[in-house]
Amino acid sequence: MTIVDVITIDGPTASGKGTVAHKVADALAFHLLDSGALYRLVALASVRVDIDVQDVEALAKLAASLDVKFGPDRVWLAGEEVSLAIRAEAIGNRASALAVHQPVRDALTRLQRDFRKLPGLVADGRDMGTVIFPDAGLKVFLTASAEARARRRYKQLIDKGISANIEDLLRDLEARDARDRTRAAAPLRPAEDARLLDTSDMTVEQAVAQVLAWHAETRA
């Protein structure tokens, strides 16, 4: 059986993992999995059909039937482009809240693993190295201070024309971090064999270069 090369990049919200994953995938011509987008898609879809965030059975059923398509920096839900809609802070907070439910995570597991195709995959999320691809050849755990991440999130939202308040963003990030770390289902934590990368004082280019260097080591 052909072994597909997988790089997992996990970390908390706004640690830079999405941007780094995109650039690493581009550099290696690998496929990309933005697992966080899947949870945001479930969150958005659940709002649109009025499913409560505690209705686990309905959420799991919705996740299992998700009609999603990914393109370069674009995401479609049931044929509608929702790239911007899923990045709203309210949707991100809802995604974090519904991600604590194991049946929802189970429903999305197969969908995520189906992204593993030649020539390789870069998977970014919170449990890529611990749950979804535990046999990945390279596992990276990105982190950064809450303050640095709040500044990044603020810039991202402002650049997209979305109004934001940095103090509110910091509180939301800290609350989301606590929820992600303490949830019973796949809590946010580095895999035992993950490489730790603190990006608080790093540029995107420096972080990408480090991940590519680590990947080269695994292929040597």
Known binding residues for ATP are 11-19
Which residues line the annotated binding site? Answer: 11-19
The CB density around residue 84, as the number of other CB atoms within 10 Å, is 12
- Please state whether 186 falls in left (phi above 0), alpha (psi between -120 and 50) or beta: left
Neighbour tally for 212: CB within 10 Å: 17
- Mention every residue, 6+ apart, whose C-beta is less than 8 A from residue 125: 8, 9, 10, 17, 33, 34, 35, 36, 112, 132
Q: CA-to-CA distance for 136 and 139, rounded, in angstroms? A: 6
Q: What is the DSSP string of 80-99?
A: EE-TTGGGSHHHHHHHHHHT
What secondary structure letter does DSSP report for 50? T
CA dist 103 → 165, 179, 209 (Å): 34, 17, 37
CB 179 within 8 A of CB 57: no
Contact 37, 86 (CB under 8 A): yes
